[in-house]
Amino acid sequence: MALSSFLNLLRRVRLVESVNDVIKIVERYAVEKGSIKPDRMLFVVKPESVRKLFEELVDKVGYERFYLSTVVGSDMKEENRFRLDYYVVILPEERTIVIRTYIPRDQPVIDSIVDVVPAALSAENETYDLLGIVFKGNPALRRGFFVSSDVVDKGVYPLRKDAAGV
Amino acid sequence: MRRPRLLELTLKNLFRKPATIEYPRKKTPVESDYRGLQYADLTKCTGCSICALECPANAIAMTPIPQGYEAPKTNPRRLYPLINYGKCVFCYRCVTVCPFNAYITTPKYDLANAEKTINSSPLSLSTLRKG
Amino acid sequence: MAVTKIVEVPISAEVPIGPQHPALHEPLLLRVYADGEEVVRVEINTGYNHRGIEKLCEKNTFYKDIFIVGRVCGICNAVHANCYVRAVEQILGIEPNNRAKYLRVLSMELERIHSHMLINAVMAENIGFENLFMQIMLDREMVMKAKEILTGSRVMADFMMVGGVRRDIDDVKRARLKDILLKLRPKVEYYKKVFEEDETIFKRLAGVGVVKRRDALAHGLLGPVARASGIRIDSRASDKYDAYGDIPFKVITRDEGDTWARMMVRWDETLESIEMSIYILDKLPSDGNPVPDERKLPRRFPPGEAFTRVEAPRGELTYYVMSDGKSLNPYRVKIRTPSFNNIINSTFMYLKHTIADVPVILTSLDPCISCMERATVIDLEKGVKYTVPFKVLAGGKP
Ligand code: SF4
Ligand code: SF4
């Protein structure tokens, strides 16, 4: 009995460490910090380091301690760049943190993380189809995954702020 | 492990009334505050157009009150909200944003009728006196 | 054996659907490549009905969007609206009172009950148990009635509003709702027992489509699918939004990870939701009017961004809403529905199973295509594509 409760305690301690572990890793890549309501920690990183960051996460803490919830791409037209937010949920507490990066609007290319984190598949495909951000190295990327073919034929990305006719 | 008696349930059902409702011969029973057809009471409406601006389905068109109806003095522009029930999603946003509480709500849900257009003009205009 | 020649035999079926049956018969193409009976590769083809809800939200005002996002999905419209409304409340800094929070949770739990009953019924139908399908759907009508009493409509709740809910309930309604739930509980217990003990169901579902804990996390699977693989994720328990912090409930997990476990998780959650709803009706706080005056809500929105999560019947649903403070419309609304992850990322689950198992596995994921594509339900396009080695066609053994 005593032993099992001791083991339990040990497990708890390790779990707490896991959240800090993840945050510590992410923090090292961060160039800027902030938060999104309600209470989601935000880390701005360089676009080149997104892939490295996830590689390190998988390497150091493993798949069982986090999952990628979604990728939100937004067109910041006035700043002439795209913004990509990777929402990562840290287990087992389910703390959501945000990894944000910016890529230039005229050259919207970023390394794909689909081979590192398979959960990125749906999100990357959608972001490519709707916003035109190219995830280099994702083999499943194609137009028309979500939008209808007439939009594809016109060659517009519907979620861009200057998209015409959608 | 005792099997659940599904067979018994099946046999019982053989002697039960059908569960389906033969609409339109029989009406589906709905609550008295079901969100059904709603229309503006033109004695209260001032033609301010707020409901038409706020409608998420764009189902309301501000329309002139036809000649031969006595519009109230509070409605100088003689406009009234004409709801196209084919577009309306019955969210009742119009009911809750109207500053004069002009909307009358009903639990009526059947839209089909013999007329070609389904809109609120007969209901709304019936609130006005002719003259 | 190296396959050198292949013959493609495309088989496709089109089945018209009614509005009561949107779970599986929806436009989604699963390209299944099989060697003999064994599935070797699955491709998901989507995009039949993209409506562009996110763009639509950018072009309409914050308040109109409440009703637009409710129409992303018919089954879980209250959770969609709730998630969006809470994001807007975060931006505005408004907090509803406790009674409103309890009523919100009540509407969402009723939705979970009928959603889980629906997919269990569809599963019964898919394995050829039509009798059971009809029974469950009949009892599901009771929940629809409860939703009508609470929100004013059977399906489209339109119940959420910034700062509260859109209708209150009185004691008469409260008693009626409780009566319905008490009647429903023994029925659900009975169905759970059927799924647990009936040999046909058990043999058909057990051991099919097993997902390991690690795979489920790596592929970002959510909701009952993840919980059936032993992952304890539930945003109701972790984010404690609305009144979930006050209402006691258990997070149901199972370790089997197969199709049967997923269905059992759903039955247990249904029972849990019934308990929660009864608790809410008993303990409904009365700290003021839960219905805000929609004419007096703020018109201008400060700049800000919010990311809210909600536990929809199918798993974690997230909304990201951003206001730039300049216009009356949101700058960006991003919706990530649970089916979006569960369906597109789950092609690995079908491998090594037979073609006949594919529909069962797909149903156990509780696919909601309208959620996933933000689409309208029009028709079914589900093709199965076999690739059979030439030798087999010629009568040889593979
Ligand atoms: S109920 Fe909703 S959709 Fe219908 S007219 Fe009113 S605001 Fe428009
Ligand atoms: S908001 Fe009310 S008063 Fe104004 S036009 Fe509509 S019904 Fe008439």
Residue C65: pLDDT over 70? yes
Cis? peptide before A92, omega within 30° of 0: yes
CA distances from C168 to C78, C103, C165 (A): 16, 8, 8
Domain count within chain A: 1
> C195-231: per-residue pLDDT in tens?
888 888 888 888 888 888 888 888 888 899 999 999 8
Instruction: Give residue C185's identity as a one-letter amino acid code.
Output: R
Question: Closest ligand to B90 CA?
Answer: 1
Residues C123, C367: contact at Cβ < 8 Å? no
Which residues, listed in sequence order, are joined to residue C161 by a DSSP beta bridge? C164
Cis? peptide before C298, omega within 30° of 0: no
Specify burial of residue A12 (Cβ count, 10 A radius: 0-12, 13-18, 19+): exposed
Reported pTM = 0.87
Domain definitions of chain B by residue range: 37-131
Q: CA torsion sign, B68 to B69 to B73 to B76?
A: negative
- Residue C389: pLDDT band by 50, 70, 90 thresholds? very low
Closest-approach residue (CA) in chain C for B6? C194
A contact chains, 3+ CB pairs < 8 A: C
Residues 5-64 of B with CB under 8 A from C: 6, 9-10, 13, 19, 30-31, 33-35, 54, 56-57
B contact chains, 3+ CB pairs < 8 A: C
Nearest-5° angle of CA B102, CA B104, CA B110? 145
CB proximity A40 to C under 8 Å:
yes
Residues B120, B85: contact at Cβ < 8 Å? yes
Q: Which of A156-160, B10-14, C26-30, C164-168 has the lowest mean pLDDT?
A: C26-30
Catalogue the E-assigned strands of chain C.
Answer: 6-13, 29-35, 38-45, 160-161, 164-165, 304-312, 315-323, 332-336, 382-389
Q: Which residues from A are below 8 Å from C232, CB to CB?
A: 92
CB-CB under 8 Å, A87 with C238: no
Q: Which two tokens stand for residue C347?
A: 């092609």
- Residue C32: pLDDT band by 50, 70, 90 thresholds? low
Mutate which of A18, A22, A37, A142 to test chain C, going by most C C-beta atoms within 10 A? A37
pLDDT of residue C375: 30
> B38-92: per-residue pLDDT in tens?
999 999 999 999 999 999 999 999 999 998 888 888 888 999 999 999 899 999 9
Residues A146, A126: contact at Cβ < 8 Å? yes
Q: Which residue has the least CA distance to atom 2 on ligand 1? A: B91
DSSP string of C207-238?
TSS---HHHHHHTT--HHHHHTTT----HHHH
Q: Which of A93, A118, A144 sits opposite C238 (nearest CB)?
A: A93
Show the ligand 1 pocket: residues with CB < 6 angstroms. Answer: B 55, 57, 59-60, 83, 88-94
* CATH number of the domain enclosing A140: 3.30.460.80
Residues C313, C112: contact at Cβ < 8 Å? yes
pLDDT of residue A26: 87
Specify burial of residue A7 (Cβ count, 10 A radius: 0-12, 13-18, 19+): exposed
> A46-62: per-residue pLDDT in tens?
999 899 999 998 888 88
Contacts of B11 (CB under 8 A, 6+ apart): none
Residues C166, B97: contact at Cβ < 8 Å? no
CB proximity C227 to B under 8 Å:
no
- The ipTM assigned to this model is 0.88
CB proximity C202 to B under 8 Å:
no
Q: CA torsion sign, C338 to C340 to C341 to C347?
A: positive
DSSP string of C176-218?
HHHHHHHHHHHHHHHHHHHHHH-HHHHHHHTTSS---HHHHHH
DSSP string of C78-90?
HHHHHHHHHHHHH
Contacts of C327 (CB under 8 A, 6+ apart): none
Three-state secondary-structure class, residue C380: coil
Three-state secondary-structure class, residue C15: coil
Question: Closest ligand to B63 CA?
Answer: 2
CB-CB under 8 Å, A144 with C218: no
CATH code of B37-131, in short, is: 3.30.70.3270
CA distances from C40 to A96, C153, C324 (A): 35, 45, 48
Atom index in ligand 2 nearest the CA of residue B46 equals 3
Task: Note the CATH architecture for domain C54-393.
Answer: Orthogonal Bundle (1.10)
